[in-house]
Amino acid sequence: MGKHTVTVNGAVREVEADPDMPLIYVLRNRLGLMGAKLGCGLEQCGACAVIADGEKVLSCVRAVSEFEGSEIVTVEGLADNGELNRVQRAFLDEGAAQCGYCTSGLIVALTDYLARTPGADRRGAIAALDGHLCRCGAHPDVLRAIDRLIAERADGV
C-alpha cells in the first residue's frame, strides 16, 4: 500500500492503494465514482473509459501509479455545474441507453473524439467507438445521438 495523488474531475485526491491497483478500482472503490464500469477487465469492452490528460484511456488494467500527476476526467466530471455536456444531453434526449452499462464509456469516447476533432463526422465518431461493446441493442439510438451531435456542430451549436 502507498499513497497516490491523482487529480480527478478537477479535485486533487490522495488515495491509499497498492501501486499496481487498476485505476478503475481506485475510482469506484476509493473515490466512490461509479460512472466507469468494470466490464471485461481486459481493455476489450470500453466500459471503463476515462479521459486522462485530454485523451481517452481504458482504466481496467492500467495501474493507479501510472496516473500520478495526470488530470483524469470521468463521466461524472463531464457535466459543468450540474449541466450535462452536449454528448450526455444527446444521449439523454435520444434515449441512447438500455441497460446503461456501456453508456458512460460511449459518452467519454465521443466527448474525447469531438474535443480533439474539429472536422468531426459520423464515420469518425463511429470509429471512435471501436472497441466499445454494447450488447443490449441501443445502437440505433446511439447513432441518432451521433447524428444529432454532428448536425449541431455543423449548425455551430
> Which stretch of DSSP H or E encloses residue 19?
none
Of 153, 105, 107, which is closest to residue 133 (Cα–Cα)? 105
Residue with cell 468494470: 38
Fold match between 2-77 and 86-154? no
Cell of 113: 473524439
What residues does each domain of the chain span? 2-77, 86-154
Which residue has 469516447 as its cell numbers?
109
In this structure, what C-alpha cell is assigned to residue 82? Answer: 450540474
Q: Give the HSE-up count for residue 17: Cα atoms under 13 Å, Cβ half-sphere.
A: 25
Local structure of residue 38 (DSSP, 8 states): -
Superfamily in which the 86-154 domain is placed by CATH: [2Fe-2S]-binding domain (1.10.150.120)
Q: Which residues are CB-neighbours of 55 under 8 A, at least 6 positions away?
A: 112, 116
Model pLDDT, residue 157: 57
CA dist., res. 47 & res. 121, Å (int): 23
Tens of pLDDT along the chain (157 residues) come to 899 999 999 999 999 999 999 999 999 999 999 999 999 999 999 999 999 999 999 999 999 999 999 999 999 999 999 999 999 999 999 999 988 999 999 999 999 999 999 999 999 999 999 999 998 888 999 999 999 999 998 776 5
CATH 3.10.20.30 for domain 2-77, yes or no, is: yes
Beta-carbon contacts of residue 96 (< 8 Å; ≥ 6 apart) = 90, 103, 106, 138, 141, 142, 144, 145
